[in-house]
A and B are shown apart, each in its own frame.
Chain A
Amino acid sequence: MTKDRLRSLSYNELSHIADKGNINVLQDMDKESLVSVIFEALEEERLDREGNNNLTIQVEAKKFAVSQDQELFLDFGDNVELPDRYQETRLVLMLRDPSWVYCYWDIEDRVLDELKENREYSGLILRVTELAAPDWGNDSSVDWFDIPIQFGDLRRYINLPSEDTFYGIEIFALLGEKEALIVRSNIIESSRDYVAQFPGKENTNRDLLIKLSGSSTDIGSFPGTEYLETDSPQRILTIAGEVEKR
């Protein structure tokens, strides 16, 4: 983003950008002050965004950096809008990382209308079930918890209590004392964020090799990369010391 680019826009366009970006501006601000406020807010947002990405993503993003003013394309004329829903009863579960899943759903209007007309209806819940196996068999449920949802809700991120297990979700309508199953999701296998235990006797070489490989998932700040032309990565020196001692 450049101040010049912002200056080239009208006061109304600048106000529109401020509105769109939730940037706090004073009502009687002059144009130059408005440009400064927007510039600083957008720069701060850009730095935050870039700083939140690891090296790979930061560099990959450079492929698409053909201008510093890209973010300001206000409209394209032939904007396409997609439907919010497809009028189907469906629940999809997606694993985002070892601790979080994303799910989206839709319930046909016909079903929703029936619920609305049911006097006993008191709400919808999303039930998250940990399963012992990748099926919905009667004995499969290990644990579960409920999240209340509204008619208008269509998606949610859910924090998983356990790693390396199976999960499925269901939507139930609460009807008096009863629960009516509306839709059931696919089952996902959650992942693990740790090195598996070695069942045999301790193997120092293996442990060292895993340490050298880097067991952290924080790829962007992996130790040992902060070295100048003649220095060896710090982690190699440390482990080299351990190897020499043996």
Chain B
Amino acid sequence: METIEKILPKDFVTDQEVRWCPGCGDYSILKQAQSVLAEIGIKREDTVFVSGIGCSSRFPYYMETYGMHSIHGRATAIASGLKAARPDLNIWIVTGDGDALSIGGNHFIHLLRRNFNVNVLLFNNEIYGLTKGQYSPTTRKGTINKSAPMGTIDHPFNPLALCMGAGGTFIARSMDRDPKHLREILLRASKHKGTSLVEIYQNCNVFNDGAFFPFTEKESKQNETIFLENNQPIIFGPSRTMGIKLDGFKPVIVNLEEGNSANDLWIHDEADPIKASILTRFFDDVTIPGHLPRPFGVFYTETRACYEDEMEAQIVTAIESKKRGNLDALLRGKNIWEIK
């Protein structure tokens, strides 16, 4: 992948009219993606956006790159085949909570464990938007919606805990309403070698408006969120006076103004899988008193061989040890006889 100079975000805009609902969080994500691609300077022709089905999956039509809009849940599997065949390409998968975690759940976990070098943007709006408002596998229990007029009885997924369990090598969370953070995380994701998974809290202002307001709106954001920074203590709060300390394996909230020192706080370490696992469990219902704030940023990174590289390496080894295959020798096989 060569890089070129001076490609601009507008160069990634297509001639297609963007058809998301006015006010949808997807617009912000599209803008940041176009900006990040311009910044990393990868050629448009070397980039492929792959999506499944859902509101977010219209994304490829709006990116002036190669693109595949596919079928429900299968973007991850399609991208796996594409990356295996063409390791040289820069591949982005755009998916949603229904697409990735419900109908495509199987492919999603297998993508993570194989660690193809691709980027996954998981738009989580905790609802089915395109089909007009049924609950999704991330919808909070008890939520009233079209297919659950008495409230959902499904226990929701904790997406990032699932990703840790599936062996993901880059696990991060951001939100549509914090473009600066989103941009920073997308940049980091694009630079990670391996599958980069970014869960993006995205507001569906039509069917699930305000699902993430505690984390995204000014009044509550400071108290309800942690913005992770590698090698830094975990501090939050409107005047950054709150922190998280590990009591054994149990995270506890401490007040730095009440005699606790910043030196005793949990120092975020992106390379520590145990700590990252605990962080993904910061998933409390915000209505519960004493709940933990929700972390954003990069939870975990790991350097691990990518599937497509190992696949290529086996081919190289096979050619080294057996020589490049010869078709005539293959067809002939080992035991032949002649009829004269």
Q: Do A and B associate with each other?
A: no
